[in-house]
């Protein structure tokens, strides 16, 4: 079975207080084993995704 695990890093919980997402990361797992595929898009200071995304093997 293929799974994608998503992790986010934020500056806090409340958007109303100005907190934001600063990092997003994903890894691929197939049959309970990491495949080495890592997806880490770049975010702008305002939390918007930059269109250039990196997909790499570890």
- 21-51 pLDDT tens trace: 888 889 999 999 999 888 887 777 665 665 4
Residue 52: inside a domain: no
Most confident of 12-16, 39-43, 51-55: 12-16
- 6 within domain boundaries: yes
Query: Is residue 20, in this structure, part of any structural domain at all?
Result: yes
The domain tally of the chain equals 1
- pLDDT at residue 12 in the model: 92
Q: What pLDDT was estimated at residue 6?
A: 94
Residue-range definition of the domain harbouring residue 14: 2-47
Q: Determine the Cα–Cα distance for residues 41 and 25; give it in Å rounded to an integer.
A: 7
What pLDDT score was predicted for residue 57? 59
Establish if 10 belongs to a structural domain.
yes
């Amino acid at each position: 079975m293929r799974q994608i695990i998503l992790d986010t890093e934020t500056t806090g919980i409340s958007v109303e207080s100005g907190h934001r997402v600063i990092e997003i990361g994903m890894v691929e797992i197939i049959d309970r084993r990491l495949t080495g595929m890592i997806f880490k898009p770049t975010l702008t200071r305002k939390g918007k995704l930059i269109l250039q995304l990196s997909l790499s093997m570890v």
